[in-house]
Amino acid sequence: MNCPRCGSTKTNQSSHKPALGYRTFRCSDGKHRFNERTGTPFNNLPFPTGIVLLGGLGRLRYKLSLRDLAEMFLERGFAFTHETVRDWAARFAPRITQQLRATRKGKGKVSVSWHVDETYLRIVGRWHYLYRAIDRAGNLVDSIPRAIRSILGHKVLHRTNRYLNNRIEQDQRGVK
């Protein structure tokens, strides 16, 4: 690991571990001490990086309330307030969102089988249709603003079955 202060590649891992359990290093050139979180946005947080990211992910992806997340982590031995989760979500939302989008579009390409369904939502006093598509793994493919034929075309095989859309119906519960 390179030294974040002087950029030297001559670093040695130290046997000393801080309370959070991160690896510490010592720079041979500048005699600087640093850990693996130094120079990152997670540097001065009193909680492990994984806990912070899980809190932000639970807020952004699964739409859990701030108080529910704080209570969920309290049961696992991490005590913090709902305001802390709000700060984490605001601070790390762009990073988490970028990672979720990269997973959805880059590495985790959507499968060829999609489940598309519409739901009727009331937005600012007016009723609107919302079309959503998820793939076989349950990943959101798109929120489609128009009807299936106008977006996907006539070449798409549209199978209808009473039980085929159970997966997307459960996915839309979070939207409503």
pTM of the full predicted structure? Answer: 0.48
Greater model confidence, 117 or 171: 117
Q: pLDDT value at position 2?
A: 81
- pLDDT band with cut points at 50, 70 and 90 for residue 165: low
Does 96 score more than 70 pLDDT? yes
Distance of CA 12 to the CA centre of its chain: 33
Residues 147 and 121: their CA atoms lie apart, in Å, by: 15
- Beta carbons within 10 angstroms of residue 16's beta carbon: 10
* String of DSSP letters for 4-21: TTT--S-EEEES---TT-
C-alpha neighbours within 13 Å on the C-beta side of residue 33: 8
Across the chain, mean pLDDT equals 75
| pLDDT score for 79 | 92
34-38, 133-137, 155-159: least confident range: 155-159
